[in-house]
Structure 1
Amino acid sequence: MACSGPALGQTLQVPIREVYLTSGQTRKLKLGQSEVLVKHAPRWMPALGARPAGATVRALAWIGP
């Protein structure tokens, strides 16, 4: 997801490893020297994709009740 600046309080720092959501099983993949985490998530979490509403829903889920 390309970003021209911080959104929802995010920083522009480079992440240590990328995390992608999937409806499948959680797994770690090595791509060269990078590690990618493919993490299981409920179907509603990735439903809104890369749109701002999707980022908001995932941020609220991460924060919790």
Structure 2
Amino acid sequence: KVVPELIKVAKIIAKNTGAIVQVHGAEAARKLELTTQVPIQTVFSTSGPSRRIQMGTLQIHLQHVCQRKLALAGRPAGLALAAMWYLGKNEVTLSLIEKIQHKLSSEEFEALQAATSAMPGWMSNVMAQYGRRA
């Protein structure tokens, strides 16, 4: 029995409801190698309502988040933004931004830098400091 990629399932569900879906920040941080922790649950952030979907033995959790946390969803810069939201104020440092820059193409990193309106003040301040440093 073949299990479909859960992100594809989440995207189909979101598409049917007109919602946006993105991997959760914990998984985004893991994919970008910013953490070695592996999330226990399969969680996706969505602009739609929070809900759990059972697929055989697997459960998908769609967690409602504000729209700005989904800025750039579906692209590498969106993964970076989700990871930064997840890691939080104490972890998002100039050093972390440098790691993210090395993981993204220059085009994607520029998109992330341009998305400051989707960031809380503390995050956009770190991005601005990094930009001035370069």
1:56 equivalent in structure 2: 80
2:70 equivalent in structure 1: 46
Listed as ranges, the gaps of 5+ residues in structure 1 are none
Q: Runs of 4+ in structure 1 displaced over 3 angstroms?
A: none
Counterpart among 18, 25, 32 of residue 42 in structure 2: 18
RMSD, matched Cα: 2.2
Quick check: which one's strand share is greater?
Answer: 1
Instruction: Calculate the TM-score normalised by the size of structure 1.
Output: 0.69
Cα shift at 1:7: 4.1
Q: State which structure, 1 or 2, has the greater radius of gyration over its C-alpha atoms.
A: 2
Listed as ranges, the gaps of 5+ residues in structure 2 are 1-6, 8-29, 90-134
| Identical residues among aligned pairs (%) | 32
2:32 equivalent in structure 1: 8
Quick check: which one's helix share is greater?
Answer: 2
User: Against the structure 1 CA distance between its residues 64 and 29, is the aligned structure 2 distance closer, same or farther, given a 3 Å change threshold?
Assistant: same
Cα shift at 1:19: 1.6
Instruction: Calculate the TM-score normalised by the size of structure 2.
Output: 0.37
State how many pairs are aligned: 59
Equivalent-residue separation in structure 2 for 1:36 and 1:63 (angstroms): 22
